[in-house]
Amino acid sequence: MKLLAVETATEGCSAALLIDGAIYSRFEVAPRRHAEIILPMCESLLAEGGIELAQLDAIAFGRGPGSFTGVRIAAGVAQGIAFALDLPVVPVSTLAAIAQEVMMEANQDRVLTAIDARMGEAYWGYYRRDEQGCARLVGDEHVGKPEQVAIPVGASWYGAGSGWAVYGSSLIERLGEWLEGFNGESLPKARYIASLAEVAFHEGLTVPAEHAQPIYLRDEVAKKSRNT
**Tens of pLDDT, residues 91-125:** 999 999 999 999 999 999 999 999 999 999 999 99
User: Cβ distance 48 to 76 under 8 Å?
Assistant: no
User: Cβ distance 184 to 172 under 8 Å?
Assistant: no
Q: What is the pLDDT of residue 89?
A: 98
Q: What is the pLDDT of residue 220?
A: 52
Q: What DSSP line would sit under 160-184, residue for residue?
A: ESHHHHHHHHHHHHHHGGGEEEEET
Task: Say which amino acid occupies 198.
Answer: E
Number of Cβ within a 10 Å radius of residue 202 = 11
Q: How far apart are the first and last CA of the chain?
A: 44
C-alpha–C-alpha distance, residues 146 and 112, integer Å: 12
- Angle CA(173)–CA(178)–CA(183) in degrees, nearest 5? 75
Listed in order, the ranges of the chain carrying CATH 3.30.420.40 are 2-93+188-226, 95-183
Fold category of 2-93+188-226 in CATH? Nucleotidyltransferase; domain 5 (3.30.420)
Q: What is the pLDDT of residue 153?
A: 83
- Rounded percentage of the chain residues whose pLDDT exceeds 70: 96
Largest CA distance in the chain: 53
Q: What is the pLDDT of residue 222?
A: 39
Residues in the chain with pLDDT values less than 70: 219-228
Beta bridge partners of 177: none
Instruction: Give the SS3 label for residue 48.
Output: helix
Q: What is the pTM of this model?
A: 0.94
Q: What DSSP line would sit under 4-38, residue for residue?
A: EEEE-SSSEEEEEEEETTEEEEEEEE-TT-HHHHH
Q: What is the pLDDT of residue 219?
A: 64
User: Cβ distance 17 to 47 under 8 Å?
Assistant: no
What CATH code is assigned to 95-183?
Answer: 3.30.420.40
